[in-house]
Structure 1
Amino acid sequence: MTATSPKAAILLAAALLVLTACGARFSPGQDPDEVLNQEIYGDRGAPRSTLWDFFRGPQDRSRVGRVNKYIWNASLEVLDFLPVESVDPFTGVIVTGYGTPPGGGRAYRATVYVTDPALDARSLNLALQTRAGPVSAETARAIEDAILTRARQLRALDKRL
């Protein structure tokens, strides 16, 4: 076995120091898993599962995505002039890029967050901005109203079927 050089020993000591600093936010007596679960999951708590859940398959397919489908589809329809950058129907987030509405001269960008499966105004969170910054509250409210109106129309059409 060869002796290590002083540079290697210093590098190893520095790496260990950095790694120990990563755990410095946990106070003695705290369970690191509980702290991380609180940071990640908040008040909902960590999901409880076992290895056997993998073999059972999904219990209820309607519970996978907890967003209102009418608000989700209405958001995509009302904001169809904006290029979609990412969507996540499981968390209810739609992120768009900048786009100009038909007949308009200003480019907008939107982030939509559908928080609840209920068809309710509280289920919709919309952040709308231009290249110069956030839009006025009236403009954002008008877009939210258009999305909610379209969601109600989609629900009414769905009831007729």
Structure 2
Amino acid sequence: MTRKISVGGKILTGAVALLGATLVLSACDKTQAVFPDKDKGDSAPRMSNEKRETIFGPEGLFGKSKPEGEGVGIGVNAFLWRASLDTVSFMPITTADAFGGTIITDWYQLPETPSERYKVNVFILDRTLRADGVKVSLFKQVRDGSGAWVDVRVDPKMVVDLENSILTRARQLRVVSSEPTQ
């Protein structure tokens, strides 16, 4: 007798599950999918060129996406970017990311001092041409008595001179770009 109750319980559980699934699926019966009608000129919102209002306002969450007059397709100030590349162009560049504003060079030995080598990391921190918009990290190594490279402290004046060189070149590029063409 307990066996019949057990089988009946399974049947009852299955019937309840089937009834629940039927109710869920029947709730979807009255809905219709809405597709854009190309004949009427309708288009999906993601394809539209219309400006849409958002909860973040007309300028988005972080303000304007690009300041006026900035180059398209680059994430940092174009003058600082070009000046940084020009300034470290004599060194082998390992990584250059225009959107993140980073330039990383490989080690470089000056021909005059083969027992020293330098590595430079340039970080462009702003989309505007400002003195604090560029940061340089300079690394120096020298050979010890056994011929191995050893890290040594870099004179902070060298870092400042390199940053000033980049800023001077950026100002020159800005002046040249703003001159009228003849």
Q: What range describes the TM-score normalised by the shorter chain of this pair?
A: 0.5 to 0.7
* TM-score normalized with structure 1 length: 0.58
Runs of 4+ in 1 over 4 A off after TM superposition: 52-57, 59-64, 101-105
Query: Does the Cα contact within 8 Å between 1:128 and 1:134 map onto a contact in 2?
Result: no
Amino acid aligned to 1:72:
W
Tell me whether 112-121 or 93-102 shows the greater mean CA deviation: 93-102
Amino acid aligned to 1:97:
D
Amino acid aligned to 1:79:
V
Unaligned runs of 5+ in 1: 1-51
1:137 to 156, 168, 172: 156
Larger relative CO (CA 8 A, sep 6+): 1 or 2?
1
Cα RMSD, aligned residues only: 2.8
Q: CA offset at residue 66 of structure 1?
A: 3.0
Q: Which residue of 2 aligns with 1:160?
A: 179
Cα distance in structure 2, aligned partners of 1:84 and 1:98? 9
Which structure has greater helix proportion? 1
1:68 to 62, 77, 97: 77
Query: Does the Cα contact within 8 Å between 1:94 and 1:111 map onto a contact in 2?
Result: yes
> What is the 5 A alignment of 1:90-101?
90-101=99-110
Query: Does the Cα contact within 8 Å between 1:129 and 1:135 map onto a contact in 2?
Result: yes
The structure with the larger Rg is: 2
Give the aligned length.
Answer: 109
Query: Does the Cα contact within 8 Å between 1:84 and 1:95 map onto a contact in 2?
Result: yes
* TM-score normalized with structure 2 length: 0.52
Unaligned runs of 5+ in 2: 1-43, 52-64, 142-150
Q: Structure 1 residues 72 and 83 mapped into 2: Cα distance closer, same or farther (>3 Å)?
A: same
Tell me whether 83-92 or 133-142 shows the greater mean CA deviation: 133-142
SS in 1 for 2:168: helix
SS in 2 for 1:65: coil
Q: CA offset at residue 92 of structure 1?
A: 0.5
